[in-house]
Structure 1
Amino acid sequence: MLTIDAHLDLSMNAMEWNRDLTRPVGEIREREKGMKDKPDRGNNVVCFPELRKGDIGIVVATQIARYVAPDNPLPGWHSPQQAWAQTQGQLAWYKQMETDGELTPITDLASLNKQVQQWTSTKDHTGSPIGYILSLEGADSMVTVGHLEKAYRYGLRAIGPAHYGPGRYAQGTNATGGLGPDGRALLKEIERLNMILDATHLCDDSFWEAMKHYNGHVWASHHNCRALVDHNRQFSDDQLKELISRGAVIGGVMDAWMLVPGWERGKSTPASTNCTLEVLIDHMDHICQLAGNADHIGIGSDLDGAFGKEQSPLEIETIADLGRIPSLLKKRGYSDADVEKVMHGNWLRFLRKAWA
Structure 2
Amino acid sequence: MEKPFIIDAHLDLSMNAMEWNRDLRISIDELNGREAGMTDKPDRGNATVTFDELRKGNIGLVVATQIARNVRPGSPLPGWLSPEQAWAQTQGQLAWYKAMEEDGHLRMICSRKELEEHLAQWQAGNRTIGYLLSLEGADSLVNLSYVERAYRYGLRAIGPGHYGPGRYANGTDSSGKLNADGVALLQEMERLNMILDATHLNDDAFWDALNRYKGNIWASHNNCRRFVDHNRQYSDDMIKALLERNAVIGVALDAWMMVPGWVRGRSTPDAMNCTMEIMANNIDHICQLAGNTDHAAIGSDLDGAFGREQCPCDLETIADMQKVFPMLRNRGYSDEDLQKIAHGNWLRFMRNALPE
TM-score range, shorter chain: over 0.9
- Cα-Cα RMSD: 0.8
Residue in 1 aligned with 2:86? 83
Give the residue type in structure 2 aligned to 1:53.
K
Residue in 1 aligned with 2:134? 135
For residues 1-16 of structure 1, the aligned pairs below 5 Å read: 1-16=4-19
Tell me the CA shift for residue 146 of structure 1.
1.1
Tell me the CA shift for residue 337 of structure 1.
0.4
Residue in 1 aligned with 2:347? 348
Residue in 2 aligned with 1:268? 267
* Aligned residue pairs, count: 352
Give the residue type in structure 2 aligned to 1:35.
M
User: Please, which of 63, 66, 75 is the counterpart of residue 66 of structure 2?
Assistant: 63
Counterpart CA distance in 2 for 1:273 and 1:301 is 19
Contact 2:106 2:129 in 1 (8 A): yes
Deviations 1:100-140 (A, max 9, x none): 11100100100111111111233xx5xx2100000000000
Give the residue type in structure 2 aligned to 1:29.
N
Residue in 2 aligned with 1:254? 253
2:173 is paired with a residue of what secondary structure?
Answer: coil
Residue in 2 aligned with 1:116? 119
Counterpart CA distance in 1 for 2:291 and 2:82 is 45
Residue in 1 aligned with 2:100? 97
Residue in 2 aligned with 1:170? 169
Contact 1:287 1:297 in 2 (8 A): yes
Tell me the CA shift for residue 71 of structure 1.
4.8
User: Please, which of 28, 36, 44 is the counterpart of residue 41 of structure 1?
Assistant: 44
Residue in 1 aligned with 2:33? 30
Contact 2:279 2:324 in 1 (8 A): no
Contact 1:67 1:80 in 2 (8 A): yes
Contact 2:252 2:300 in 1 (8 A): yes
Counterpart CA distance in 2 for 1:335 and 1:121 is 26
Residue in 2 aligned with 1:306? 305
Counterpart CA distance in 1 for 2:210 and 2:152 is 26
Give the residue type in structure 2 aligned to 1:110.
K
Residue in 2 aligned with 1:207? 206
Cα 1:138–1:10 change in 2 (3 A) is same
2:242 is paired with a residue of what secondary structure?
Answer: helix
Q: TM-score, normalised by structure 2?
A: 0.98
Counterpart CA distance in 2 for 1:323 and 1:115 is 21
Give the residue type in structure 1 aligned to 2:220.
S
Counterpart CA distance in 2 for 1:314 and 1:341 is 25
Contact 1:2 1:120 in 2 (8 A): no
Counterpart CA distance in 2 for 1:294 and 1:203 is 26
Counterpart CA distance in 1 for 2:270 and 2:20 is 26
Give the residue type in structure 2 aligned to 1:8.
L
1:229 is paired with a residue of what secondary structure?
Answer: coil
Counterpart CA distance in 2 for 1:54 and 1:71 is 41
Q: TM-score, normalised by structure 1?
A: 0.98
Residue in 2 aligned with 1:227? 226
Unaligned stretches of 5+ in structure 2?
none
Residue in 2 aligned with 1:145? 144
Counterpart CA distance in 2 for 1:223 and 1:19 is 25
Tell me the CA shift for residue 44 of structure 1.
0.2
Q: Does 1:154 align with 2:145?
A: no
Contact 1:28 1:42 in 2 (8 A): yes
Contact 2:8 2:59 in 1 (8 A): yes
Residue in 2 aligned with 1:189? 188
Residue in 1 aligned with 2:319? 320
Tell me the CA shift for residue 241 of structure 1.
0.4
Counterpart CA distance in 1 for 2:324 and 2:283 is 11
Give the residue type in structure 2 aligned to 1:166.
P
Contact 1:137 1:162 in 2 (8 A): yes
Counterpart CA distance in 2 for 1:25 and 1:299 is 21
Identity over aligned pairs, percent: 64
